[in-house]
Amino acid sequence: MPFSEYIAPFEEYPVLQERVLAVLRQLPEDVQADFLNDDRFRVEIDNYVPGVGWSFLMPAPGVDGNGSRCVILRSKLADATEGFAHYVIAHEFAHAFLRNGGWGEITDIEEAADALAASWGFTRPA
């Protein structure tokens, strides 16, 4: 399976693992290829520990100046409604695809990620 490395961090959270996989499978082929062909794209589980913080290894910026494209997801997305979880996952993937930039005429990075996720079929729940 081409996405196995992206869902491996969620083995302890099978519901979340399935949700990440469902979103990845629904992304357009060019987006999937972009992620699969970039070593800087990763998906990880949030490992925040109160009083300690986070620990992640992220690839250094490449020769083109682009930094890591690491998506960090919280385990509580396994407990959220499926629609909300899919939206959040797609929104974060949109940030990675856009390299935290705008999309078309949309310069606000949050609005751009929302719009791109919606174009993929993942709209923000009411």
- For the stretch 8-49, pLDDT in tens is 999 999 999 999 999 999 999 999 999 999 888 889 998 655
Burial class from Cβ neighbours inside 10 Å (0-12, 13-18, 19+) for residue 73 reads buried
Q: How crowded is residue 10: how many other Cβ atoms within 10 Å of its Cβ? A: 22
So where are the chain's domains?
A: 4-119
Chain Cα centroid distance, residue 107: 19
Taking the model in full, what pTM does it have? 0.87
Chain Cα centroid distance, residue 22: 12
Strand intervals (E) in the chain: 41-45, 69-73
Question: At residue 54, does pLDDT exceed 60?
Answer: no
